[in-house]
Structure 1
């Protein structure tokens, strides 16, 4: 298949940028350069060669009809997979597949969507403006700010998807990774019963195998005792690496021993009010609105017998029911 003309109308479009995009330049600090080299096996030659290989693979792939080929996008996958080109290619293909297999979760993401906008304005999920002690982007969620009788699990997932799409092109995030703080003080069985067992397994497989993010630490705090069985089930579906990175805290005070309270919203003992953090992040979303909408131009031909579609169906065989069927303490 030919590449066609340059620009966003090309089957392999590269968003407009003033930067040299062949991957030869490292645009971040010497500290991040050393971290990338130490943790990700990245240097200038490796990065440039890997980007070239990724672009050639995309152009020759028989099922990929349209895909971003700019460095920021491709480095999402290469850095997540520590510059193993075959693993990065596999994750990119899975990413394209899930976007089309589950469009209700991953396509048509827009800050102007009324449900998403209301959830973000209400503070259900917000990336914190300051990084943690290891320089990672921190994402805070608050169950009490999600009304399970007004919104659905689809709204919840779309909200998360929009937030991470806004963050994943950031090269410092790609290198340092992400940590998560989840306030479950308002968690009810209404939240839990939103999800079918098959959907929770699907979304966890998407997070683990198809989303190019380095998940470094996940903190849960204020978990109600009646949700223990649910969390046990949730954790059982994760791979060993992610299981080891989950920390359960009995209270906000316990969390503050693991996360610098200064970076948290004022409502959690920090310095900046949550409302200010929400307003600041909304500006980022508005600035990236068109770029995020343009992701829907990407297309891969879904083959029902293809490797990744078949893998997803095989993994989910026999999974049925909902969390209502789980006994709670």
Structure 2
């Protein structure tokens, strides 16, 4: 069970922990949510159960036959490439946990970033970043952003939203998703504790990422060397897997 599933019903369970009717309603709600998730996956990702199983089977077989990959789960995530601070590590652990959850894979992630004490490090990650909301953005950073965003596609521009107050943030993001300190209902301390519990429940999987190893990058297709890779072993992969490019 994910933290996102727990946030809303947790208080209800605390008050009615012995109430069988309440537990039954929560289970029915979860079942309904999963059905809605499957509809979203079919509509936005063109993914149904048959397609998902076929794609996973093809990809797993390709990974198994690829001599350049060892202990692959999601790919090599090299923290040495960026700042080695605890904050960077916390982000890596957070995203690795989120991306392993089916609900987040389907719905995507809506970010709320408080730039009051931002660090310069930045990483990309293969998640569905639906929207990124900034608050307390420093004036120099906003100036640079206003210049750079001119190069963004309209779709990307629509995903970046800058708020100059908590009130405007609440107009964009449901307060149930925000901590009390930002106008929500649940204190940040309580949210953080719930997230720690989920991380602890998935500790073994997170630690297993340390064994991931890319033996060689010779088979990686990049836009600058796409013509040099005619024999990467991807010919047998269907659709989007064959066309996957990395920058």
Q: Bin the TM-score by the shorter chain.
A: 0.5 to 0.7
Residue ranges of structure 1 left out of the alignment (5+ in a row): 1-26, 69-91, 107-151, 312-329
The structure with the greater share of residues assigned to helix is: 2
Match runs of 1:117-266 below 5 Å = 154-184=85-115, 186-187=116-117, 191=118, 194=120, 203=123, 207=124, 211-232=125-146, 235=149, 241-266=155-180
Change (3 A) 1:44 1:261: closer
- Secondary structure at 1:212 match in 2: coil
The CA deviation at 1:66 is 2.1
TM-score by length of 2: 0.68
Change (3 A) 1:43 1:160: same
TM-score by length of 1: 0.52
Aligned with 1:298 (options 212, 215, 225): 212
Give the whole-Å Cα distance in 1 for the aligned partners of 2:218 and 2:141.
Answer: 37
The CA deviation at 1:308 is 5.1
Residue ranges of structure 2 left out of the alignment (5+ in a row): 1-31, 226-247
1:114-171 per-position Cα deviation (integer Å, ceiling 9, x unaligned)? xxxxxxxxxxxxxxxxxxxxxxxxxxxxxxxxxxxxxx56433222111111111111
- Asked if 1:55 corresponds to 2:60, the answer is yes
Range with greater deviation from structure 2 (154-163 or 270-279): 154-163
- Asked if 1:275 corresponds to 2:206, the answer is no
Question: 8 Å contact 1:105–1:158 — kept in the other structure?
Answer: no
- Asked if 1:104 corresponds to 2:80, the answer is yes
Change (3 A) 1:269 1:252: same
Give the whole-Å Cα distance in 1 for the aligned partners of 2:147 and 2:208.
Answer: 36
Question: 8 Å contact 2:79–2:89 — kept in the other structure?
Answer: no
The CA deviation at 1:226 is 3.3
The CA deviation at 1:103 is 4.0
Let me know the Cα RMSD of the aligned residues: 3.1
